Structure 1
């Protein structure tokens, strides 16, 4: 199924939702809950329209790996403690060097 077909199917579902909400409103009357559902449906319509505008024409189907993005190499970090010699000449943050007094 192409991207346009998927967007059209989603639009049809939103149309069905609007019809169902209209039927519910006729049965239970207008109220806060109905207004919320109508508002949410409107937001979904706006989001779907934005998605349709942002989607590139002829986009590959979902699940197709990107063509230009390389797979990053994983770096394994060992759980063993670091060698203390690595920190022999380092300053303690906020305290300064070990052989000097803190301000």
Structure 2
């Protein structure tokens, strides 16, 4: 399925969500909870609109960063010779 088709499907679902939230708002009133749901639905609508614009302009989605492997082996202690043990106090004294 093409990106355009997927975005159209998402837009249709958001339209259904907006209508459902409107009906729910009529039933339960305009309390804080329903305003939060309405705001979340509006944010989704805005995000999909931005996504639609970026795909229409031909901008690819930002690439995911590559995984960085961090070894389990201890670091070379010579890397830390020029740094202080911040927050641990001086080397030749003990904490109170």
In structure 2, distance between residues paired with 1:4 and 1:17: 20
TM-score, structure 1 normalization: 0.56
Gaps of 5+ in 1: 60-71, 96-103
TM-score, structure 2 normalization: 0.59
CA shift for structure 1 position 8? 0.6
In structure 2, distance between residues paired with 1:32 and 1:78: 48
Contact 1:3 1:58 in 2 (8 A): no
Q: Does 1:39 align with 2:39?
A: yes
What residue number does 2:26 align with? 26
- Higher Cα Rg, which structure: 1
The alignment's C-alpha RMSD in Å is 3.8
In structure 2, distance between residues paired with 1:78 and 1:13: 46
Q: Spell out structure 1 runs of 4+ moving beyond 6 A.
A: none
CA shift for structure 1 position 23? 1.2
Matched residue count? 79
Bigger helix fraction: 2
